[in-house]
A and B are shown apart, each in its own frame.
Chain A
Amino acid sequence: MKFLALALILAATTPFVAGAQETGLTDEQILLKRVMEDKRSVYAASLALSDPESRAFWPIYDEYEAKVKTLDDRFLNLVNHFAAEYDTLSDAEAADMLKEKMDIEKERMALKQSYTRRIAKAIPPKKALRYAQVETRIENIVRRDVYSLIPLAH
């Protein structure tokens, strides 16, 4: 199982993680890491914010990313737990993991929605809509890569 690689890619795709190791990563994973590190510049280029808009947007964005990081940490713990129990996963453990996964997704969505609403009040709604579209594209790329590394439960 590629859980070590998964842990590395999760660390690499999580903002504010210092010094994530690149040893053992595939070219694709290294590329993804660099894409995520460049997420801010993607938004900067895509949203074309004026100076006042930038001053309003970036503090909210940074606050959002910091809160998402705590959910990423919970997801990483969940994946590590899944890896540890993979070969002998009981009904009770699987049910707990499923609940934790759903809880994390619900909290992540609530966070994203709450901050998108805040962003829509801080910058023009059209740009907030564009922000939400870009965020969704990035989320999907990360999800695809992470899901591809997690084996299906027995």
Chain B
Amino acid sequence: MNKTFVALATLTACAVAGPLAAQSINAEDQALLSQIQTDKRAIVLKGLQLTDSESAAFIPIYDEYEAERKQLADRTIALLDKFAANYDSMTDDAARGILKDWVSLEDSRLDLTKKYAKRFEKVLSAPKVLRFVQIENKLDTAVEMEAVRIVPLAKP
């Protein structure tokens, strides 16, 4: 299989999750990811319209949240690598394993959002946390749409 999609999907999947480990992608992609990450932070902060005191409370927690999302990005890379490695001769066991990992990853993503929404509720008003989740959902959907568009469907 053409491995280009792996790099592209990895790049896209990780765009909201922080810079990747250096060994995963080249320096050019690393720079691009850093830029995308910086842009995402700016979009979130602009969208939330926080006061100075709200920003001071929110940003440290947000940075922790993004650091945890990076761990999920690493798992996404491993999953994409597994899919790519098995793509041309996918066995039933490999397909089951990929499905299992995928399910686990989706669970972890939702659990992480729930966990941090609760933490954000302690430092922001509930409407602002709701707004944060709305912004995250929009960004995640845009990124995931691009990622799944790049990754080919498993051969039937």
Contacts and interface: CB of A to CB of B under 8 A. Distances in A.
The yes or no verdict on A and B being binding partners is yes
Interface of A: 46-48, 89, 91-95, 97-98, 101-102, 105-106, 109, 113, 116-117, 120, 124-130, 132-134, 136-137, 140-141, 143-144, 147-148, 150, 152-154
B128 interface: yes
Given A94-B126, A94-B129, A128 B99 contact: yes
14 contacts: A94-B126, A94-B130, A102-B113, A126-B92, A126-B155, A129-B154, A130-B153, A130-B156, A137-B148, A150-B134, A152-B134, A153-B127, A153-B130, A154-B127
Contact of A153 (B134, B138, B155): B134
Interface stretch (B26-34, B55-63, B66-74, B100-108): B100-108
Contacts of A120: 95-96, 99
B141 A92 contact: no
B85 interface: no
B90 interface: yes
Given A102-B117, A125-B95, A133-B148, A97 B130 contact: yes
